[in-house]
């Protein structure tokens, strides 16, 4: 069985912003964790390339839309490389294979008698690419999100019979595991209770899109195009992508991780479309919150947009990952604060985890011939071993319900307790007395062993830091042995060599 996790297909109007980086990092951590526990993961990301906005952006640049899309899509690819994102599939909606899937899907939905021609009129925002509900109520015909003038549109569109699926959608969204968090689920239940309306799936006069079969002037509208990317991605590397191939390789998706602004499309429109096409609905739609900066909404007009490229070049990958994963409860809004960021990285990663490893490794090398001590006896009561066992259980439990912030805190707490254990036992005092040697060996061994487990638990969260911890302990992590087995206490090998310690993370300066 496959485990399929997806980011949204990002719109190629610009390079990735911090919000897209956040979504993608969370998916990456989940994908890495699922691989470690033995799942056959398909981690899907990609880009949504069609639509009027892209057509216009390309026109303004004086290039063909395809050229513009090639350029931005490459930027996304490079960016995910820089962020060390372990995606398996990168789907572009302008690809031939994707078009095959969209057409096949459309034929199935048409065969279910769920497509009809209707008239769509109203005020339209090009930025949102949607009709706005009640602009009469506002004095200016402006989009509340984009603050740009709306355009009056009156055109024939193809419609999807969403209203037919009212009861089925109600049943799906009432399953507690389908939409998370609860707040988001309630919003959707409210929305659906007001009655579902059919929605248009095509546009005329938008040439940059997938043409609707038998309707020359119509191209598919965003949701009947981009959402299908999750399906086409699965069999995109095969000759002749097809719905059947994607189904055989693991559809439905286990998790769609998305920003809360596109929840409705994923939790209502998409399941109805899939049912109509005779396909299974995704198992979970997880809507995360928005990111603000120093308590303020980020926006070009405010000039406070945080550039992820700048963050990565200034601080590196793992510090940003740690902050986004640990400081934001998945599902809630998050705030990026420079001072807080520096404090958290210095406290958690540099002082608590980095220092612990560094000083213990130094002591062990100094006292035990550059090696892990050779333990002679194990006392019956081992406080640290108990801590570590409980931490491993908690961590797995939190990760399984996607409470990544809590899982990160479990690791941090284990490191805090390990530091406490070291300070309580003071091996640097005990070593002065020769009789104490067996107990010193045991203390040092325990601390190093706890650090090994911390390193392993960090593997999905901070892959780079985890690998540095592993190197420092003599590269004992074995890919071929199940990760969970390696979390057992006592696997650090007595008398094995310890490489010369180097700082695994540098302290940051607050400017």
Q: Positive or negative, the Cα torsion across 343, 346, 348, 349? A: positive
145 sits near Zn ion (criterion: CB under 5 A): yes
CB of 135 to Zn ion, least distance (A): 11
Of the two residues 125 and 257, which places its CB atom closer to Zn ion in the complex?
125
**Contact between 226 and Zn ion (CB under 5 A)?**
no
Q: Is 306 one of the binding residues for Zn ion (CB under 5 A)?
A: no
Tell me: does residue 52 bind Zn ion (CB under 5 A): no
75 counts as binding Zn ion under rule CB under 5 A:
no
Q: Using DSSP bridges, classify how beta strands 255-259 and 285-288 pair: parallel, antiparallel or unpaired.
A: parallel
- C-alpha span between 354 and 352 (Å, rounded): 6
Phi-psi category of residue 284: left, alpha or beta, with phi > 0 → left and psi -120 to 50 → alpha:
beta
Torsion of CA 205, 206, 212, 218, to 10 degrees: -20
Stretch that binds Zn ion, among 119-127, 205-213, 252-260, 322-330 (CB under 5 A): 119-127
Task: Compute the least distance from the CB of residue 137 to Zn ion, in Å.
Answer: 16
CA angle, 166 as apex, 285 and 330 as ends, to 5°?
Answer: 15
Strands (E), 311-390: 334-336
> Is 143 or 312 the residue whose CB approaches Zn ion more closely?
143
The answer to whether 261 contacts Zn ion (rule: CB under 5 A) is no
Rounded CA gap, 221 and 207, in Å? 11
Chosen residue from 125, 192, 344, 353 binding Zn ion by CB under 5 A = 125
| Binding residue for Zn ion, selected from 127, 259, 490, 501, defined by CB under 5 A | 127
Q: Least distance (Å) from Zn ion to the CB of residue 148?
A: 7
- ∠ at Cα 163 (162, 165), nearest 5°? 75
**CA 371, CA 442: separation in Å to the nearest integer?**
13
Residue for token digits 């070009």? 300
Closer residue to Zn ion in complex, CB, 145/420: 145
Closest distance between Zn ion and the C-beta of residue 327, in Å? Answer: 30
Task: Give the number of other Cβ atoms within 10 Å of residue 278's Cβ.
Answer: 12
- Between 143 and 461, name the residue whose CB sits nearer to Zn ion: 143
Q: Please report how close the Cβ of residue 125 comes to Zn ion at its closest, in angstroms.
A: 3
Closest approach, Cβ 157 to Zn ion, in A, equals 19
Scanning 72-80, 137-145, 181-189, 247-255 for contacts with Zn ion by CB under 5 A, the matching segment is: 137-145
How many residues in the shown chain lie near Zn ion by CB under 5 A? 6
Interface residue with Zn ion among 143, 227, 255, 473 (CB under 5 A) is 143
Phi-psi map region of 205: left, alpha, beta (phi>0 left; psi -120 to 50 alpha)? left
Residue in 61, 121, 146, 171 binding Zn ion, rule: CB under 5 A? 146
Name the residues that contact Zn ion, by CB under 5 A: 125, 127-128, 143, 145-146
């Amino acid at each position: 069985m496959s485990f399929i996790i997806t980011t949204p297909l990002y719109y190629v109007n610009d390079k990735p912003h911090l919000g897209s980086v956040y979504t993608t990092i969370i998916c990456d951590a989940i994908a890495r964790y699922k691989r470690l526990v033995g799942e056959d993961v398909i981690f899907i990301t990609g880009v949504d390339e069609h639509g009027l906005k892209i057509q216009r952006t390309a026109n303004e640049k004086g290039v063909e839309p395809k050229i513009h899309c090639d350029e931005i899509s490459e930027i996304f690819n490079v960016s995910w490389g820089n962020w060390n994102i372990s995606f398996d599939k990168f789907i572009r909606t302008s690809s031939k294979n994707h078009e095959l899937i969209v057409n096949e899907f459309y034929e199935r939905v048409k065969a279910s008698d769920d497509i009809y021609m209707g008239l769509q009129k109203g005020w339209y925002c090009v930025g949102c690419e949607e009709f706005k509900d009640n602009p009469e109520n506002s004095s200016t015909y402006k989009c509340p999100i984009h603050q740009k003038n709306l355009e009056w549109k009156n055109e024939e569109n193809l419609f999807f019979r969403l209203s037919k699926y009212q009861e089925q959608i109600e049943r799906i969204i009432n399953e507690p595991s389908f939409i998370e968090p609860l707040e988001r689920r309630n919003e959707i239940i409210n929305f659906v209770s007001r009655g579902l309306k059919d929605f248009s799936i095509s546009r005329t006069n938008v040439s940059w899109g997938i043409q609707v079969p038998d309707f020359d002037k119509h191209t598919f509208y965003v949701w009947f195009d981009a959402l299908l990317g999750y399906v086409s991605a699965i069999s995109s590397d095969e000759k002749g992508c097809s719905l059947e191939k994607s189904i055989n390789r693991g559809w439905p998706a286990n998790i769609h991780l998305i920003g809360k602004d596109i929840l409705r499309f994923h939790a209502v429109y998409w399941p109805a479309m899939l049912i109509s096409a005779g396909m299974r609905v995704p198992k979970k739609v997880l809507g995360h919150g928005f990111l603000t900066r120093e308590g303020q909404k980020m926006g070009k007009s405010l000039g406070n947009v945080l550039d992820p490229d700048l963050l990565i070049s200034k601080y590196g990958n793992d510090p940003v990952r740690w902050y986004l994963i640990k400081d934001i409860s998945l599902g809630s809004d998050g705030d990026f604060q420079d001072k807080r960021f520096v404090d958290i990285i210095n406290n958690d990663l540099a002082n608590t985890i980095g220092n612990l490893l560094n000083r213990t490794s130094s002591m062990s090398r100094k006292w035990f011939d550059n090696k892990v001590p050779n333990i002679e006896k194990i006392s019956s009561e081992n406080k640290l071993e108990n801590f570590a066992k409980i931490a491993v259980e908690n961590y797995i439990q939190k990760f399984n319900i996607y409470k990544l912030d809590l899982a990160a805190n479990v690791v941090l707490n284990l490191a805090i307790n390990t530091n406490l254990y070291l300070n309580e036992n003071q091996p640097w005092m005990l070593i002065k007395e020769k009789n104490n040697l067996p107990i010193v060996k045991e203390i040092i061994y325990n601390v190093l062993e706890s650090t090994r487990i911390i390193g392993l638990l960090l593997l999905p969260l901070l892959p780079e830091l985890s690998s540095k911890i592993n190197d420092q302990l003599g590269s004992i992590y074995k890919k071929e042995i199940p990760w969970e087995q390696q979390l057992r206490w006592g696997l650090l090998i007595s008398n094995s060599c310890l490489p010369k310690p180097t700082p695994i993370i540098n302290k940051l300066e607050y400017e």
